[in-house]
Amino acid sequence: MWVELALSTILVLATALFHGLGLLVIGRALSALDRGRTESELNPLSLRGAAYTSAVVLGLLTLSGLEIWFYAFVYLLIGATATLQDSLYFSTITFGAIGFSDAPLAVPWRIVGAIEGINGVLLLGWSVAFLVAELQRVRHR
């Protein structure tokens, strides 16, 4: 159990750091994009505003996708799953807290899977908060 908890701690710290840095990069890129734009140009209902919002969403999806793949590769490396497809499937449903089943995961590693679920919910919540804050920033500037 201690090995699982230690590995889970490392994975949570790594993904939280990666997520924070990813949000920083996305935020800075967006700030550079909207420099000098007028309020009407970044209205969410304008073409530029829709493109801006889409860029934020795509950046957040990419960030979450990379974190899901990271967990999937770890599951494969530790032998918790038999195939990359099983690893990716399990990581995706767990990260997004869908959690259909933990059947693809070897029993000794189920705590890691459970902690990925908690981690995923928090990171996805952080992404939603970032998205809302970014949209509010653009709307009220």
Residues contacting residue 123 through CB under 8 Å, at least 6 positions apart: 15, 16, 19, 64, 67, 95
Query: Which domains, and CATH codes, for the chain?
Result: 2-139 (1.10.287)
Residues contacting residue 119 through CB under 8 Å, at least 6 positions apart: 11, 12, 15, 16, 95
Q: 24-72: per-residue pLDDT in tens?
A: 999 888 877 767 665 555 676 778 778 888 889 999 999 999 999 999 9
Q: 69-83: per-residue pLDDT in tens?
A: 999 999 999 999 999
